[in-house]
Amino acid sequence: MVENIKILIADDSDLMRLLMKRFFTRWLGSPVIVEMDNLPSTIELLRQEKFSFLLLDINMPTGDSSPDTVREILNIQPDIKICMFSGNNKAALEQSYLEAGAIGFIEKDENMSAAMEQVIKEAFS
């Protein structure tokens, strides 16, 4: 298990945040997990606190995350690992987010457990 990991989950769905917390805990032991439900508060928190990993929903009621959002976050925290999390079509969007600097893209209707495990292994191996 990797030690001292601080994770930020930014998703407007309470259920998705709970599910993702369980995945992180299963594969990382006892990470510090912080939850946000909107993009503006997420960006503000990233300006104040350092995180190892950000799971970022694309569509939230107070603002959508674009590839430019990924670039903005990486300007704030160059070492953070960002994984996009969305119900949007992965095939249509994934490449633009990866080119912006995200390390992964998990579609909410795919096998999220296996996809999350793969991203976690890539991020923390």
How large is the average pLDDT for residues 7-15? Answer: 96
How large is the average pLDDT for residues 28-51? Answer: 96
96 burial type by CB count under 10 A (0-12 exposed, 13-18 middle, 19+ buried)? middle
Domains of the chain in sequence order = 12-31+38-124 (3.40.50.2300)
3-state helix, strand, coil in the chain (%, to 5): 45, 20, 35
pLDDT tier, 87 (very low <50, low <70, confident <90, very high otherwise): confident
CA distance 18 to 20: 6
- Mean residue pLDDT of the chain comes to 92
pTM for the full model? 0.93
Write down the pLDDT at residue 13: 94
pLDDT surpasses 80 at 109: no
Write down the pLDDT at residue 2: 57
75, 31 contact by CB (below 8 A): no
pLDDT tier, 112 (very low <50, low <70, confident <90, very high otherwise): confident
pLDDT surpasses 90 at 7: yes
pLDDT surpasses 80 at 48: yes
